[in-house]
Amino acid sequence: MCPLLVQSHARVFNYPLAQHGDSCYELQTDETVTWEHGEAICNQRGGHLVSITSAAEQAFVEAFMTRNNPNHAVWIGLHDRNVEGTYEWTSGGVYI
Per-domain residue ranges for the chain? 4-89
Question: pTM of this prediction?
Answer: 0.86
DSSP string, 16-73: -EEEETTEEEE----TT--HHHHHHHHHHTT--S----SHHHHHHHHHHHHHHSTT--
- Taking only the tens place, the pLDDT of each residue in 30-87 is 778 899 999 999 999 899 999 998 999 999 999 999 999 888 889 999 999 999 999 9
Residue 28 pLDDT exceeds 90: no
CB 20 within 8 A of CB 55: no
Give percent above pLDDT 70 in the chain.
100
CB 41 within 8 A of CB 75: no
Beta bridge mates, 24 = 19
Query: What pLDDT, on a 0 to 100 scale, did the predictor assign at position 96?
Result: 75
